[in-house]
């Protein structure tokens, strides 16, 4: 027979109707087995693929519509910090919707904290503890392997090309944090955020490896990168060190982040960190 405490928890869970705004948030809710409580997601909720395929879409997390969110009759919106716009959040709060904004700093600590907080919000503390313990152990294993790297490589993460110039990741980005987790040095670390690089900046950055953040299924041949402009003169071109990774997997900073960092490390340093998984 169900106790009163368990009955109360079950009833609370049944009443939860969640709008999940942010790819890592949606991924965590699915990892906790609470996807049935989600009534809508945003366009950044790319993993697992069934999230966008089976749930109503309320749009991009920074361009939410109050009407679109409220039409799903949610009781709770869990959103990544930076969701908005602010006037939309104000309208949603005025309508009585509870909104919880979670820190999206790209770090191992932030991933663990998000798992724990979502577990608390969903009253799923035990599954959240199991997941955070698993992810913490993966980060610990990553730390141990990183310490074995003798000579860190200079790594440049590219999101694409605009007018022939690379859009690269500098400091204060998820890519910068991922490079560090994987034991590299950001070759574009002399700038902040994502910016286009001039030929002079590419040559000065001198990357040993170039990482392409893929948003589709197309694979780029090393020649398509290293035949372009200043990239011909980089150390990466000499060894054709081109790595391609799914952008959401590499930059999402959700439960798979340690696995993604392991996989990037294994490609940067094949003798140090064997790949652990596929996105």
Residue 4, pLDDT score = 39
How many beta carbons lie within 10 A of that of residue 14, not counting itself?
Answer: 10
Domain final position from 122, 142, 162: 142
Low-confidence ranges of the chain (pLDDT < 50): 1-11, 273
Say whether both 125 and 159 belong to one domain: no
Question: Do 135 and 182 belong to one domain?
Answer: no
Enter the tokens of residue 278. 């596929």
Range of the domain at 54: 13-142
Residue 1 lies in a domain: no
Residues 138 and 159 in one domain: no
Residue among 8, 256, 4, 275 at smallest CA distance from 123: 8
Say what the pLDDT of residue 8 is: 42
Measured between alpha carbons, how far apart are the two ends of the chain, in Å? 42
Residues 6+ apart with CB under 8 A from 24: 80, 104, 111, 114, 252, 253, 254, 255
Is the whole model's pTM more than 0.75, yes or no?
yes
Q: How far is CA 227 from CA 140, 202, 236, in A?
A: 39, 13, 12
Is 274 part of a structural domain of the chain? no
Q: Are residues 134 and 244 in the same domain?
A: no
* Residue 152, C-beta contacts closer than 8 angstroms, at least 6 positions apart: 183, 184, 185
Residue 5 lies in a domain: no
Q: Are residues 50 and 171 in the same domain?
A: no
Residues 73 and 164 in one domain: no
With respect to residue 275, please indicate whether it lies within any of the assigned structural domains.
no
Q: What are phi and psi of 278, to 5 degrees?
A: -120, 150
3-state secondary structure of 98: strand
Query: Could you tell me if 249 and 179 lie in one domain?
Result: yes
Domain count along the chain: 2
Of the residues 76, 108, 142, the one at which a domain ends? 142
Taking CA atoms, 267 is separated from 151, 152, 181, 244, 263, in Å, by 15, 13, 13, 10, 6
DSSP string, 38-51: EEEE-TT--SSTHH
147 falls within a domain:
no
Q: What is the CATH number of the domain that holds 122?
A: 3.40.50.1980
Structure tokens at 265: 């490390």
**pLDDT tens column, 79-89:** 999 999 999 99
Which pLDDT belongs to residue 277? 53
Distance (Å, whole) CA 233 – CA 181: 27
- CA dist 109 and 132 (Å) reads 10
Q: Pick from 93, 116, 142: which residue ends a domain?
A: 142
> Over the stretch 157-183, which tens digit does the pLDDT of each residue have?
999 888 878 999 999 999 999 999 999
Whether residue 104 sits in one domain with residue 71: yes
């Amino acid at each position: 027979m169900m106790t009163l405490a368990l009955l109360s928890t079950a009833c609370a869970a049944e009443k939860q109707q969640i709008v999940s705004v942010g790819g890592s948030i949606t991924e965590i809710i699915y990892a906790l087995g609470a996807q049935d409580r989600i009534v809508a997601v945003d366009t950044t909720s790319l993993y697992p693929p069934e999230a966008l395929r089976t749930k109503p879409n309320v749009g991009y997390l920074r361009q939410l519509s109050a009407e679109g969110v409220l039409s799903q009759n949610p009781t709770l919106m869990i959103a990544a910090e930076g969701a908005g716009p602010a006037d939309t959040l104000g309208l949603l709060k005025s309508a009585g919707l509870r909104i919880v904004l979670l820190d999206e700093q790209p770090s191992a600590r932030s991933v663990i904290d998000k798992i724990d907080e979502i577990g608390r919000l969903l009253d799923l503390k035990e599954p959240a503890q199991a997941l955070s313990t698993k992810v913490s152990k993966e980060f610990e294993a990553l730390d141990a392997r990183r310490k074995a790297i003798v000579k860190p490589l200079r790594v440049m993460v590219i999101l694409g090309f605009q007018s022939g110039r690379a859009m690269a990741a500098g400091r204060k980005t998820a890519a910068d944090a991922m490079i560090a987790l994987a034991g590299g040095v950001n070759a574009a670390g002399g700038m902040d955020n994502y910016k286009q690089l001039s030929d002079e900046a590419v040559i000065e950055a001198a990357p040993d490896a170039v990482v392409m953040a893929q948003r589709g299924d197309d694979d780029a041949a090393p020649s398509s990168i290293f035949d372009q402009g200043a990239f011909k003169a980089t150390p990466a071109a000499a060894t054709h060190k081109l790595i391609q990774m799914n952008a959401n997997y590499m930059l999402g900073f959700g439960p798979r982040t340690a696995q993604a960092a392991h996989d990037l490390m294994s490609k940067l340093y094949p003798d140090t960190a064997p790949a652990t998984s596929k996105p």
